[in-house]
Homo-oligomer: A and B are copies of this chain.
Amino acid sequence: MPDWAKHAWRVARKDLLVEFRARTGIVSAAAFVILVLLAFNFGLDRTAVAAVDIAPSILWVTFTFAAIVALNRAFQLELENQAFDGLLLAPIGRGSIYLGKLIANLVFVATIEAIGVPLVALFFNVRMLPYVLPLVGIIALATIGFVAVGTLFSAMTVRTRFAELLLPVLLLPFMIPPLMWAARATGALLTDRPLSDIAGWLKMLAAYDIVFVALALLLFPETVTE
């Protein structure tokens, strides 16, 4: 394993260790998803709206909020005792730090999503089992994109006042397009449309991932040195 990968992994492992030290993190993440879904359930008048129409969007909106909440914490952790300065001093590339953070965030968000999908299937009784594989593909594509951007931005906002508000404000314009594409793709998938319908969206998602992961890797160093 090349050095940069090794270092990235060590940073990520540390984050995960901290997060799963107390099971709190993941448990409350799960509860969070459930409750967001509930909030929708009650909000929407279920007689007026067909489950399959809204299930995809609700799935994705839930993920969005869960992700934002999770991302906010990504760097809080580092600032507590300015441990982040320690990371910057260490003889490891900035890129490794970014990747480490990215991995940790992806794992965290992925866990939330893994919990969310079956719950949505359950609450809105939508058949998802037959589509699991393509669905995972869509989710993965979308998630990578916005978590990559989110990780980059949280590195900046966390040092400003109003981090909790500023992060979503900066992030959502970047988050909603992939979110929309993913939602449409999911919708098409669940309503058995031909794959050609989905391909377009997937292409967009893939392009988005490539562009923004690359961009984030290039730009991250700028966000960390004073």
Interface residue A125 (Cβ < 8 Å from any Cβ of B): no
Interface size class of A (residues with CB under 8 A): 35 or more
Are B24 and A176 in contact (CB-based, < 8 A)?
A: no
| With known contacts A39-B176, A44-B54, A28–B64 Cβ distance under 8 A | no
Interface residue A31 (Cβ < 8 Å from any Cβ of B): yes
| With known contacts A39-B172, A164-B69, A53–B48 Cβ distance under 8 A | yes
CB contacts (< 8 Å) of A29 on chain B: these are: 165
CA distance A172 to B42 in the complex (A): 12
Are A24 and B69 in contact (CB-based, < 8 A)?
A: no
Interface residue A25 (Cβ < 8 Å from any Cβ of B): yes
Interface residue A45 (Cβ < 8 Å from any Cβ of B): yes
CB contacts (< 8 Å) of A224 on chain B: these are: none
Q: From A58, which residue of chain B is reached at the shortest CB distance? A: B43
Residues A9-63 near B (CB distance < 8 A): 21-22, 24-25, 28-29, 31-32, 35-36, 38-40, 42-45, 48-50, 53-54, 56-58, 60-61
Q: Mark A68-101, 1 if CB is under 8 A from B, else 0.
A: 0110110000000000000000000000000000
The one of B28, B65, B175 in contact with A166, judged by C-beta atoms closer than 8 angstroms, is B28
Q: Mark A146-171, 1 if CB is under 8 A from B, else 0.
A: 00000000000000111011101100
CB contacts (< 8 Å) of A50 on chain B: these are: 48
CA distance A39 to B168 in the complex (A): 11
Copies of this chain held together in the complex: 2
CA distance A57 to B25 in the complex (A): 29
Q: From A43, which residue of chain B is reached at the shortest CB distance? A: B57
Residues of chain A having any CB pair with chain B under 8 Å: 21-22, 24-25, 28-29, 31-32, 35-36, 38-40, 42-45, 48-50, 53-54, 56-58, 60-61, 64-65, 69-70, 72-73, 160-162, 164-166, 168-169, 172-173, 175-176, 179-180, 183, 187
Are B44 and A168 in contact (CB-based, < 8 A)?
A: no
With most chain B CB atoms within 10 A of its CB, the pick from A38, A54, A162 is A162
CB contacts (< 8 Å) of A38 on chain B: these are: 172, 176
CB contacts (< 8 Å) of A28 on chain B: these are: 162, 165-166, 169
